[in-house]
Amino acid sequence: MTTFEQVKELIPAMTVQEKMDLLDLLAQNLGGPFLGIERTPGICGGSARIAGTRIPVWAIVQYTQLGVSQAGLLQAYPTIGADEIANALAYYRTHPDEIANEILENEAA
């Protein structure tokens, strides 16, 4: 039996949360243009965020739009690096409507 067949047999016994975690793990392992950006239901409202943090992409974008420099972002978020800020901004450039809507939703809250 292949590894895929083994995993396929296990999926029906998994909880919904385990299935979502599995999807997240698969997405991370596939890599892609937004390595370091993840989305998990129940964390940051399901918004795209910097992997392993609770820092949503929309927050990085909004601070940037308000004139906060990269140095300022690194000071405000000492647990992330310049590469993670770059990944967040790259994600925004390809998903501008999504991020703009999340900024508006946050402002309305």
- The string of pLDDT tens digits covering residues 41-79 is 999 999 999 999 999 999 999 999 999 999 999 999 999
Is the same domain home to 15 and 47?
no
Residue linked to tokens 């390595």: 35
Tell whether 43 and 68 lie within a shared domain: yes
Q: Tokens 């409507």 label which residue? A: 97
Whether 50 and 94 share a structural domain: yes
Mean pLDDT across 21-36? 64
More confident site: 79 or 109: 79
Q: Output the domain CATH number for residue 68.
A: 1.10.10.10
Distances from the Cα of 52 to the Cα of 81, 84, 96, angstroms:
13, 11, 22
Residue 38: what are its φ and ψ, rounded to 5°?
Answer: -135, 165
> What pLDDT is stored for residue 50 in this prediction?
95
CA–CA gap between residue 38 and residue 16 (Å, rounded): 18
**Do residue 11 and residue 43 come from a single domain?**
no
Domain residues for 64? 36-108
Q: Are residues 25 and 54 in the same domain?
A: no
User: What is the C-alpha separation between 60 and 64, in angstroms, rounded?
Assistant: 6
Length of the chain equals 109
